Amino acid sequence: MKKLIALVGLLFSCPVWMMAQEAAAEVPTLDSGNTAWILAATMLVMLMTIPGLAFFYGGLVRRKNVLSIMMQCVVLTAVITIEWIVYGYTAVFGTSFSETWLGGFIGGFDKFFLHGIQLDTLTSGNIPELLFVLFQCKFAVITPALIVGAFAERIKFSGFLVFSILWSLLVYNPMAHWVWGGGWMQEMGAIDFAGGTVVHINAGISALVMALLLGRRRGYGSNPIVPHNVPFVVLGTALLWLGWFGFNAGSGLGADGLAANAFLVTTLATAVAATTWMVLEWIINKKPTVIGICTGAVAGLVAITPAAGTADAMGSLFIGLVASCVCYFFVAYIKPKMKYDDSLDAFGVHGVGGFVGAILTGVFATQFITGEGGVQGALYGDWHQLGVQVIVNIAAIVFSAVMTFIIFKITDKLVGVRVSEKDESIGLDISQHGEIAYSEGE
């Protein structure tokens, strides 16, 4: 009898035990490999702003303005981090509005000041959501920092700071939600793996608007304005190229084949773009320049960014080639012809390169990378995806341009934007910060 009772109990307990096992299997567990990689990728993306962009832009300006450029990069790393953790993250990735029509335009306020995110809260890739917050924070930091290249050497520090904070709140956050946080562009099926639309088109178009509204630097077009430290430019390029591996390969949130492909196509597109720019200069101007090959490399990095999760090696080669040619044309011919002072080619490289890359993503996306049933581009028969890329990125251009114009006018009324002629003449390092980069003494 005892054996019979035990047998019956075992039979009844089996389904319960199996259900418990299934429930346990459904609970996501932290993936230590993915977590370790995204920790490293986050550090690499931070490296892009400071010191990467600080040295790249800093070397391109005159010596009397190098500290102002570096200060702008450092202060954005600080203040945008605060903005992102307090409000930006919930505006982009919050979910309280996801079931309403507002969800297409803003995430919500449920994660204000990271409310509700605990140590064991996981997100895509089974990594801690706190780590995802910080990874995305680095994108929020570098995007307004890219705009610095358009208004270098002539903007008031107070005006720069007010503009950058307002721009992050009213331009970057909405765009990031639309593309990455479940907004209307993502619902349309837009592809932007690591920031072609959100980062580069967004910043590049805003850079052009700022350059036009601020006006040209004193002496621009009549007196030579040359970089003061080309080795800084090389150093900055190297740091950007290195950091971009975290930018692109980290955006899949996993240590896997997708990350490896993003790593590879980022390397190849950049190499092709740098080489193409060098060859163009060599043919047209008879001499290849160091600044030229560095600029070409950055153009390649920008262009492959939206396609890094969908393009293969062949696609990345063509993206790097086309982007370098188009960006070179804008920098070498369109800018002098139109006479706008995009000081460090933020528009010519980031705006133009980002648009070229975003559109070509709709051409070269392949199921060889995205998998069976995944997205593919026009080259493989899906013209619809190309149409989506065109519509979304034209909308991004219009939004960025209009909002930047409005924010500029607000900032100008509040604190002013452009420095006086005297302050510009003596340099922003002294007039805005009371410092000099290089002493004349021993």
Q: If we measure between CA atoms, which residue out of 125, 93, 74 comes closest to residue 250?
A: 125
From CA 199, how far away is CA 26, in angstroms rounded? 35
Q: In whole angstroms, what separates CA 88 from the centre of its chain?
A: 15
pLDDT of residue 224: 83
The three-class DSSP label of residue 395 is helix
165, 83 in Cβ contact below 8 A?
A: yes
On the CB side of 93, CA atoms within 13 Å amount to 22
Q: What digits encode the pLDDT tens for the residues 287-311?
A: 999 999 999 999 999 999 999 999 9
Q: Token pair for residue 182?
A: 């479940």
User: What pLDDT was estimated at residue 8?
Assistant: 45
Nearest to 304 by CA among 368, 246, 361: 361
Cα 329 from Cα 267, distance rounded (Å): 23
What's the first-to-final CA gap in the chain, in angstroms?
A: 100
Residue 176 Cα to chain centre, angstroms:
10
Of 354, 258, 261, 257, the residue nearest 303 (C-alpha): 354
| pTM > 0.85: yes or no | yes
Any idea which residue has 């391109």 for tokens?
60
Compute CA 109 distance to the chain's CA centroid, rounded to the nearest angstrom: 24
Q: Tokens in use for 78?
A: 């600080």
Residues of the chain with pLDDT under 70: 1-26, 441-442
Residue 3 has a pLDDT of 55
Q: What is the pLDDT of residues 7-19, one digit of tens each?
A: 445 444 445 444 4
- Name the DSSP letter for residue 65: G
| Contact (CB, 8 A) for 126 and 28 | yes
Calculate the CA 289 to chain-centre distance.
Answer: 26
Confidence (pLDDT) at 12: 44
Dihedrals φ, ψ of 220, to 5°?
Answer: -65, 125
| Confidence at residue 7, expressed as pLDDT on a 0 to 100 scale | 47
In this structure, what are the phi and psi dihedrals at residue 31, rounded to the nearest 5 degrees?
-95, 105
Beta bridge partners of 123: 127
Is the Cβ–Cβ distance between 232 and 289 less than 8 Å? no
Instruction: For residues 96 and 92, give the distance between their C-alpha atoms in angstroms, rounded to a whole number.
Output: 11
Q: Which 3 state secondary structure label does DSSP give 340? A: coil
404 DSSP β-pair partners: none
